[in-house]
Amino acid sequence: MKMPVVVSLILVAAGWMTFSSAAGAQTKQQPFPAKPGLTAQQLHGREVLVQHCSLCHLPQLPRPRDSYGPSLSGVLKDSTPADEQAIRTMILKGDAKMPGFQYALKPAEVADLIAFLKTTF
């Protein structure tokens, strides 16, 4: 096989990059352990978020760095039914930048996720 030129960037799937501190330039995000007082449904909703939404909606690591997509903390806190429906539609259908999860999440998982999105984290 012909040997084309290769960018031999030694990316070895973690720990191979060095980072400079960007202190002061980025939003400091808090780590994500479950807060006390969450209901069983909210705890499961938190796991759904970590499992399916964290790639874009939790802070980039190493901390502190912004998430790629918007933070979801409290996005449905004190929300109206219309707010909740809008978020539900977003979860299921996505938009130009976000895939829709209607085929990936079960209705119960979506319900649990929404319950968690009513909390701040």
Partner 1 sequence: MRRMRCFQVVALAALVVTGGSKLAAASLSDTMLSGTVKSVDGKPMEGVAVSARPEGKTFSVTVYTDQAGKYTFPTLEDGTYKMWAQAVRFDTARATVQIASTKKAQENFTLKPLADFEKQLSGSEWIASLPDSTEADHHAKQLLVNYCTGCHGSAFPLQNRFDAKGWGILIDYMSNTTVMGTRVGSVPMNFELMLSIPDYSGPKQSSFFPMIQAHKAELVDYLARVRGPNSKLDYKPFPRPTGESTQVVITEYDIPTGDVPGYAPTPNGTIWSDGMPSWQEARGVHDASICGDGNVYFSDSGATDGRTMGKLDPRTGKVTSYMLKQQKNDIAVAIHGVVCDPNGSVWITNISENTTTRFDPQTGQFQRFPVPDGVEGTGGSMVMDSKGMLWVDTVAGFTKFNPKTGEYTAYKSVTPGGGKYGAAVDADDNIWISQMAFDILGKLSQKTGELTEVRLPSSEISKADEEINNQNVSMLASPYLGHKGPRRSGPFRSGDSVYFPEYWGNAIARINIHTNAVKEYPLPIPAALPYNVMADKNGNIWVDMFNAERFAKFNPTTEKFTVYKLPSMGYETRYIDVDNSTDPPTVWVPASRTNKIARVQFRTAAN
Interface residues with partner 1 (CB under 8 A) are 1-22, 31-34, 47, 50-52, 54-56, 58, 60-63, 65-66, 68, 94, 96-101, 103-104
Q: Identify which of residues 30 and 85 has a Cβ nearer to partner 1 in the complex.
A: 30
Q: Identify which of residues 54 and 83 has a Cβ nearer to partner 1 in the complex.
A: 54
Q: Identify which of residues 29 and 79 has a Cβ nearer to partner 1 in the complex.
A: 29
To partner 1, the closest distance from the beta carbon of 82 in angstroms equals 25
DSSP H/E element including 91? helix 81-93
Question: Residues 56, 13: contact at Cβ < 8 Å?
Answer: no
To partner 1, the closest distance from the beta carbon of 2 in angstroms equals 6
Distance between CA 84 and CA 80 in Å, rounded?
Answer: 6
Helix (H, G, I), strand (E, B) or coil at 5: coil
To partner 1, the closest distance from the beta carbon of 97 in angstroms equals 7
CA angle 76-82-83, nearest 5°?
Answer: 25
| Structure-token match 């004190």, residue found | 78
Q: Identify which of residues 20 and 80 has a Cβ nearer to partner 1 in the complex.
A: 20
**Sign, CA torsion 75/95/28/55:** positive
To partner 1, the closest distance from the beta carbon of 1 in angstroms equals 5
